[in-house]
Amino acid sequence: MSQLQIFPVEAHGYPLPTLASNDPALIAAELAQRGIGFEHWPARVELAPEATTEQILAAYAPEIARVQASGTYPTVDAIRLTPDHPDREALRQKFLAEHTHSEDEVRFFVEGRGLFCLHIGEEVLQVLCEAEDWIRVPAGTRHWFDMGSEPCFTAIRFFDNPEGWVAQFTGDPIAERFPLLDGALPGRGH
Q: What is the pLDDT along the chain (190 residues), one digit of tens a residue?
A: 899 999 999 877 778 899 999 999 999 999 999 999 999 998 889 999 999 999 999 999 999 999 999 999 999 999 999 999 999 999 899 889 999 999 999 999 999 999 999 999 999 999 999 999 999 999 999 999 999 999 999 999 999 876 656 889 999 999 999 999 988 766 544 3
* Domain CATH code at residue 140: 2.60.120.10
Whole-angstrom distance, CA of residue 81 vs CA of residue 145 = 13
Whole-angstrom distance, CA of residue 117 vs CA of residue 175 = 8
Evaluate whether residue 184 is within a structural domain.
no
Whole-angstrom distance, CA of residue 3 vs CA of residue 59 = 26
Evaluate whether residue 183 is within a structural domain.
no
Model pTM score: 0.92
Evaluate whether residue 189 is within a structural domain.
no
Residues linked to residue 109 through DSSP beta bridges, in sequence order: 155
Whole-angstrom distance, CA of residue 21 vs CA of residue 28 = 11
Evaluate whether residue 187 is within a structural domain.
no
Distances (CA, A) of 42 to 29, 62, 87, 158: 19, 11, 29, 17
How many domains does the chain divide into? 1
What does the pLDDT read at residue 15?
81
What does the pLDDT read at residue 190?
38
Domain that holds residue 141: 3-176
Evaluate whether residue 50 is within a structural domain.
yes
Strands in 25-141 per DSSP E: 37-40, 75-81, 99-100, 105-120, 123-130, 133-137
Spell 103-121 as b/e; 16+ CB within 10 A means b. bbbbbbbbbbbbbbbbbbe
What does the pLDDT read at residue 145?
97
